[in-house]
Structure 1
Amino acid sequence: MSSTFRAAAPFLATALLLTPVVGHAADAGRYYVATPAAAPAQQMLITSGTVWKWRDTAFTASKGPQRENIMCEMIVQHAGKLSAFSAGGKVFDDAALTKCNAHAK
């Protein structure tokens, strides 16, 4: 084994180990996706410590400690009724979305 390879091996191993973490970090803020029925007045909302940021056509947020239905209820209290909501890639069905929207102001 060449001395150059031996010197570079720890750095290459570290880079390979960190690659999945970097990829995950890019999607970390999109665990929840809440699409308001009407255009929002604000570009950022905070619900019980969870930061929701407006991206394109929806509010997105990182995974929070509350159950998915509670997260939906909290965002509708600030953003108003939603036309869609998903958590971890799972889209709320019509019944779940209707129940969530019942908590809107």
Structure 2
Amino acid sequence: MIRILAKSVLASAAILAAAGVSAGPRDTYVATPAAAPTKSFLITRDTSWQVRDGAYVATNAPIREMIACQLVARSAGALTGFSVNGEAFDGAELDTCNAKAKGGKAVAVKTETAQAPTN
């Protein structure tokens, strides 16, 4: 009886160890704001972001990468960098993300000047 129990425990331990090894690492999101963070944490929808070394870090956002970036930018302001699992957004992606930044993105408006009629 003890032998059967011992074998069952060993088999269970082996299964749990194999499951732990097969589970991949969690996604890591890092958002670096242009201005120093003023809060120690930030919550966007269902994601909690903690400040580490001047950047907001999350270990699993249940949304698309761009949406996660835009939500942080909307709350924290413009970002100078955003990466997922060590892969940084390129300039175009970061521009798209920052379009949703708190305070809005500065847009240059071209104004037409009306010429006065000559007499």
Bin of the TM-score, shorter chain as denominator length = 0.7 to 0.9
Normalised TM-score (structure 1):
0.73
Question: Which stretch of structure 1 is more off in the superposition, 9-18 or 75-84?
Answer: 9-18
For the aligned residue pairs, the C-alpha RMSD in angstroms reads 2.8
1:82–1:12 CA distance, 2 compared to 1 (3 A)? farther
Distance 2:43 2:74 in 1: 11
Question: Which of the pair has the greater relative contact order for Cα pairs under 8 Å at 6+ separation?
Answer: 1
Kindly name which structure, 1 or 2, has the bigger radius of gyration based on alpha carbons.
2
Q: Describe the superposition over 1:5-40 as per-residue Cα deviations: whole angstroms up to 9, x where unpaired.
A: xx9887777777666849x89x74x61000111101
1:42 equivalent in structure 2:
39
The answer on 1:53 being equivalent to 2:47 is: no
After the TM superposition, which parts of structure 1 deviate over 2 Å for at least 4 consecutive aligned residues? 7-22
Distance 1:59 1:13, change over 3 A: farther
Q: Percent of pairs identical after alignment?
A: 45
The count of aligned residue pairs is 100
Deviation at 1:87, TM superposition (A): 1.3
Residue 63 (structure 1) aligns with: 60
Q: Deviations over 1:29-75 (max 9, x none)?
A: x6100011110110100001100000112110022221100000000
Contact preservation (8 Å) 2:37, 2:55: no
- 1:95 aligned residue: 92
| 2:50 corresponds to 1:77 | no
The structure in which a higher percent of residues are helix is 1
Counterpart residue number, 2:114: none
Ranges in structure 2 where 5+ consecutive residues have no aligned partner = 103-119
Q: Name the counterpart of 1:32.
A: 29
Q: Which runs of 5+ in 1 are unaligned?
A: none
